Amino acid sequence: MRATVLNGPGDVSLETVDDPTLTGPDGVIVRTSRTAICGSDLHLYHGVMGAPGVRLGHEFVGEIVEAGPDVRRFRVGDRVLVSGVVGCGRCDGCRSGDPVRCTGGGPRVLGTNVELPGGQAELAAVPAADASLHHVPDGITDDAAVLLTDVLPTGYWGARNADVGPGDTVVVMGRDGNKLQVLAEAASQ
C-alpha cells in the first residue's frame, strides 16, 4: 500500500509499505477515504518531534475493512471517524470517551511515532476500536466528517475554555513570520 512517510526534517515522501495488521483483538483496519494535515504533522516535518520512518496522519475517516473478534460497536463496512488520540480502551478515561485521560498505557497519537502508523495511507490499523472510533452518520460526507477529527473540535475546545458564547466577538491570531504584525496593523485601522 502507499503511505506518507517522514524521512527526516523537511523530507516527506509517498512510499510503498507493508499493509497494516490488526493491533490486537480489539483493533480494526480502516481503508482511508479522507485525511487532513494538522499542526502536529508540521511539527514532525520541521523536526520538532518524531523520527524517520513515521507514517504520518492522525486526522482521517474511512471504512472498516477488517475487525478483531473483540470489537463490539463496529463491523466491516462501517464508515468511521478515527480519533487521533487513542488509549487502551479499557480504563475509566477511555470508557468515558476521553482517551487523553487513559491510565492503561496511553494516551498515544496515531501517526506521530513508528509504533503507531497514521492515516495518511491507504490503510491504517486502529487499536481499541470501540473507544477510538465514531460512526459517520448517513448524510455526512467524508469531506465534512474529516473536519470533525481534529480541526473543528480543537476550535470548539478553545472557544469553550475561553467561555465564548453566541454573539461574542473574538479575535483569532496566528503567527507566520511577519503576518502577525500585518494582522495587528490591519486591525488597528
pLDDT exceeds cutoff 80 at 154: no
Q: Is the pTM of this model over 0.85?
A: no
What stretches of the chain show up as alpha helix (H) in DSSP?
A: 39-45, 92-95, 129-132, 142-145, 151-161, 179-188
**Average pLDDT estimate for 37-49:** 85
Rounded CA-CA distance 120/30 in Å is: 11
Rounded CA-CA distance 86/140 in Å is: 23
Whats the size of the chain, residue-wise?
189
What stretches of 19-72 show up as alpha helix (H) in DSSP?
A: 39-45
CA distances from 133 to 15, 38, 112, 150 (A): 26, 19, 18, 13
pLDDT in tens, 59-100: 899 999 999 999 999 999 999 999 888 999 899 988 888 888
Angle at 97 between CA 39 and CA 51, to 5 degrees: 35
pLDDT in tens, 16-37: 999 999 999 999 999 999 998 8
Rounded CA-CA distance 25/12 in Å is: 32
Rounded CA-CA distance 14/116 in Å is: 17
Q: Report domain extents, the chain.
A: 2-149
Q: Answer for the pair 50, 107: CB distance below 8 angstroms, yes or no.
A: no
CATH classification of 2-149, choosing from 1.10.150.120, 3.30.420.10, 3.90.180.10, 3.40.50.1980? 3.90.180.10
DSSP string, 114-125: TTS--SSBSEEE
Residue closest to 68 by CA, chosen among 109, 29, 26, 99? 26
What pLDDT score does 75 carry? Answer: 97
